[in-house]
Amino acid sequence: MEMKNGRIYDVICIGQVVQDILVTNVPRDVFQRETDMTMVDAVSMATGGDAANEAVVLARLGNHTGLLGRVDRTNVGSMIFEDMQREGVDTTLLSRPEDCETLSSIVFIHPDGSHSFVVSPGHRYTPELEDFDFEVLKQTRAVSAASLFGLGRLDTDGIDRIFRAAREAGAITAADMNFDLNGIGPRALEAVYPHIDYLMPSFNEAVYVTGRREPEEMADYFLEAGVRNVVIKLGERGCYFKNAREQFHLDACPIQAVDTTGCGDNFVAGFLHCLLRGKTHRECAAFAGAAGAINALGIGAHMQVRSEEQVLEFMERMGIR
């Protein structure tokens, strides 16, 4: 196994690994209609979840990526496990405990490319501290918590310890956010922020935590809480970056979105990919935005980005600098 700078992994992605059932071209008012049947374009199954999406895209971009999460021992779990191996994701850290039941998510993709989710409860499908070997942190260049607010018990008891140990081991720490489905509250992650090098929430997630609606004010909230660099993902309005020394806004790529599922995960993967190659923050954000845009051009949460060369060619074609 090739080592870079004495490290085996480029990135370890921690978080949700789920089954996605994708339903395309679903009218927004489908459940308000009098008819009990609606024709859609297609129904398909795929691996999903923030951590899995990030890991696949990072692997396709050329990174040795470990996935730390849980899948069950049913056919669903086996499908996911084999899918990750086919994608070149290192599954050494993927756990399959007897009492795990993988969460399934039905993704309704609307004609405008937006999406709605219906999810099953699952059981013990999020990673636990007992799954984690702290020694592995000495073997990775970056650790990404792909699903803050979606990590189960790790959110309030564990991810702060993992991040603290990662930084002590010389690894970069990064985190995305999810919606607070478990109702732990907007202040639940305050112990985690001082250990995060790069926080990349979406606009709505940042609104929930900060109570603010201006990207700069959101970023200031997180910086004051101890985060070192903040990227607010603004969807069709691009992204906003701020740290103690620099700040900038980048516009989104002008595309016609087919499906926005997983675009934020593709963004984070693209940003980390460039960061590990010594690119500037502006270059990281531009590449990340392009990766997210490419993902939106087709169906699925990680189906469209194929390689670094593909993203760079897209950026050249779109005039992205």
| Lowest-pLDDT range of 181-190, 217-226, 253-262 | 253-262
Task: Give mean pLDDT, residues 293-312.
Answer: 94
In the predicted model, is pLDDT for residue 4 greater than 90? no
Kindly state the average pLDDT of the residues 68-83. Answer: 96
pLDDT band per the 50, 70, 90 thresholds, residue 173 = very high
In this structure, of 2-6, 29-33, 253-257, 295-299, the range with the lowest mean pLDDT score is: 2-6
Q: Given a cut of 70, is residue 244 above it in pLDDT?
A: yes
In the chain, % of residues over pLDDT 90: 84
Q: Is 99 left (phi over 0), alpha (psi -120 to 50) or beta?
A: alpha
Tell me the CA distances in angstroms from 222 to 125, 145, 199, 251, one per residue in order: 28, 16, 8, 22
Rounded Cα gap, residues 72 and 81, in angstroms: 9
**How far is C-alpha 162 from the geometric centre of its chain's CA atoms?**
18
What residues pair up with 172 in beta bridges, in sequence order?
142
Mean pLDDT over 130-136 rounds to: 94
The tokens describing 151, both together, are 């990590």
127 or 31, greater pLDDT: 127
HEC sequence for 48-113: ECHHHHHHHHHHHCCCCEEEECECCCCHHHHHHHHHHHHCCCECCCCECCCCCECCEEEEEECCCC
| C-beta of residue 158 within 8 angstroms of C-beta of residue 14 | no
Arithmetic mean of pLDDT over the chain? 94
The residue-averaged pLDDT of 124-129 equals 94
Predicted confidence band at 117 (pLDDT cuts at 50, 70, 90)? confident
Q: State how far the Cα of 125 lies from the Cα of 16, in Å rounded to an integer.
A: 7
In CATH terms, is domain 9-318 a member of 3.40.1190.20?
Answer: yes
Q: Which residues contact residue 197 at a Cβ distance below 8 angstroms, ignoring those fewer than 6 apart?
A: 167, 172, 173, 174, 227, 228, 229
The answer to whether 148 and 66 have CB atoms below 8 angstroms apart is: no
How far lies 200's CA from each of 39, 157, 180, 229, in Å?
37, 21, 16, 9
Per-residue confidence at 106, pLDDT binned at 50, 70, 90? very high
| Contacts (Cβ under 8 Å, ≥6 apart) of 163 | 143, 145, 173, 175, 192, 195, 196
Confirm if 71 and 93 have CB atoms less than 8 A apart.
Answer: no
Is the pLDDT assigned to residue 263 strictly greater than 60? yes
> How many CB atoms are located within 10 Å of the residue 32 CB?
7
pLDDT, residue 3, reads: 58
Is 90 exceeded by the pLDDT of residue 33? no
Q: Which helix (H) or strand (E) holds 115?
A: strand 115-119
What local confidence, expressed as pLDDT, does residue 5 receive?
65
Asked if pLDDT for residue 276 goes beyond 90, the answer is yes
Give mean pLDDT, residues 285-289. Answer: 98
Other Cβ atoms less than 10 A from the Cβ of 72: the count is 23
pLDDT band, very low/low/confident/very high, at 2 (cuts 50, 70, 90): low
Straight-line distance from the first to the last Cα atom of the chain, in angstroms, rounded to the nearest whole number: 34
pLDDT score of 31: 84
**Closest alpha carbon to 125 in 59, 80, 185, 164:** 80
Sequence ranges of the domains in the chain: 9-318
SS3 297: coil
Spatial CB neighbours of 313, under 8 Å, sequence gap ≥ 6: none
Question: How confident is the model over 238-254, as a mean pLDDT?
Answer: 97
Q: How far is CA 63 from CA 10, 31, 52, 76, in A?
A: 6, 42, 14, 26
